[in-house]
Amino acid sequence: MSRTEGKNLRVVLYEGPGGTPLGDTERFETLSTLLDNGFEVTRPVAGQQVAPADDAPVLVLGHLDMEALPPVGADQDVYFRSLTDAEALETARDVREASGARQLEAWKPWFPVIDFDRCTNCMQCLTFCLFDVYGVDGKQQITVQNEDNCKTDCPACSRVCPEVAILFPKYGKGPINGDIVRAQDVQREAMKVDITTLLGGDLYGSLRNRQQDARKRFSTERDESKALLERKRCLGKLKQDLDIPDEVLMTLPSAEDIEERAVRAKAKMEKRLARSKTVQDSRPVPTEREWGI
């Protein structure tokens, strides 16, 4: 059974005919103990209105004279217990078990509550939530369909809602906790929407395009002046990181020097190759005796 299934036991704190009134302290302590342990409590007073009974089991609790109590219908799931016999909480727990009422878990009822005065049915919450908390009803209206799936203390869907229409009543701060939505809250949400619009409505697509633009820019910017600047920057970094003295850096050849040296080296090599070919051609092939065979 999930934590949201089953009926709660309703405790009626009875002080009417057939019972002796409780003292103020006893009444208050009984009330707060039962409430703190998850029970619902009704305090009826003759001639005054309380919520009518439903089909949940009921425990009538008080200082009762069992023989003087008014009769109840046979179809009602009602238990009478006197506080003179046992402690209230213990009695309520026993009756809860006997009646098959919901066993309480210590849980924080954390789930989104939609303010339909503000909701525009944009479905951002539905597409955003990874845990399948939201769904749509038969009229294609957004709805919270799996409260149990919601991750306790996560109000992320309320932050993406452009209309500030999602509440988490157990949240600490407004307007997510249900506090009044002020103009600045709406402006903040509108700003989020504007940013998305500025980015073309598709954040991931925009990031991809930006990366491609950057690559393109890199390939077109490879000119000599930028290369020299880059070299200068690298030299500066070398000096800083490796502690290379200025005088050593000054002796490093410039690009022109390197190019000139390369041209000279190439010419020298060609000259040597040519000479070597001439020498090889003019020399007679060694005889077998010369080879020592």
Partner 1 sequence: MKILYCNCTYAKVVPVEVKRDVLRQLSDSGQAFDAVADLCDMSARKDPALKKIAEGGCTRIAACFPRAVKWLFHAAGTPLPAEGVDVLNMREDSAEDIVKELLA
Q: Site for partner 1 (CB under 8 A): which residue of 86, 89, 106, 243?
A: 106
**Cβ distance to partner 1 smaller for residue 173 or 222:** 173
Binding-site residue total for partner 1 (CB under 8 A)? 53
Choose the binding region for partner 1 from 91-99, 100-108, 125-133, 197-205 (rule: CB under 8 A).
Answer: 100-108
Q: Which amino acid is at 276?
A: S
Burial 65-95 (b: 16+ CB within 10 A, else e): eeeebeeeeeeebbbbbbbeeeebeebbbeb
List 47's β-bridge partners, or say none.
none
What distances in angstroms separate CA 271 from CA 265, 274, 275, 276, one per listed residue? 10, 5, 6, 9
**Cβ distance to partner 1 smaller for residue 44 or 196:** 44
Q: How many CB atoms lie within 10 A of CB 222?
A: 9
3-state secondary structure of 66: helix
Q: How many CB atoms lie within 10 A of CB 126?
A: 17
Residue 134 binds partner 1 (CB under 8 A): no
Residue 116 binds partner 1 (CB under 8 A): yes
**Cβ distance to partner 1 smaller for residue 64 or 181:** 181
Q: Site for partner 1 (CB under 8 A): which residue of 18, 44, 77, 185?
A: 44
Q: Site for partner 1 (CB under 8 A): which residue of 169, 205, 236, 286?
A: 169
- The position carrying tokens 């009229």 is 139
Q: Which amino acid is at 157?
A: C
Q: How many CB atoms lie within 10 A of CB 151?
A: 13
Q: Site for partner 1 (CB under 8 A): which residue of 61, 83, 101, 167?
A: 167
Choose the binding region for partner 1 from 28-36, 209-217, 261-269, 272-280 (rule: CB under 8 A).
Answer: 28-36
CB 142 within 8 A of CB 114: yes
Q: Site for partner 1 (CB under 8 A): which residue of 68, 74, 75, 108?
A: 108
What distances in angstroms separate CA 206 from CA 3, 113, 124, 201, 209, one per listed residue? 43, 33, 19, 8, 5
Residue 125 binds partner 1 (CB under 8 A): no
Q: Name the token pair of 158.
A: 């309320």
Residue 63 binds partner 1 (CB under 8 A): no
Choose the binding region for partner 1 from 32-40, 71-79, 231-239, 285-293 (rule: CB under 8 A).
Answer: 32-40
Report the interface residues with partner 1, using CB under 8 A: 4-8, 10, 24, 27-28, 31-32, 35-45, 48-56, 102, 106-109, 111, 113-116, 144, 147, 167, 169-172, 174, 177-180
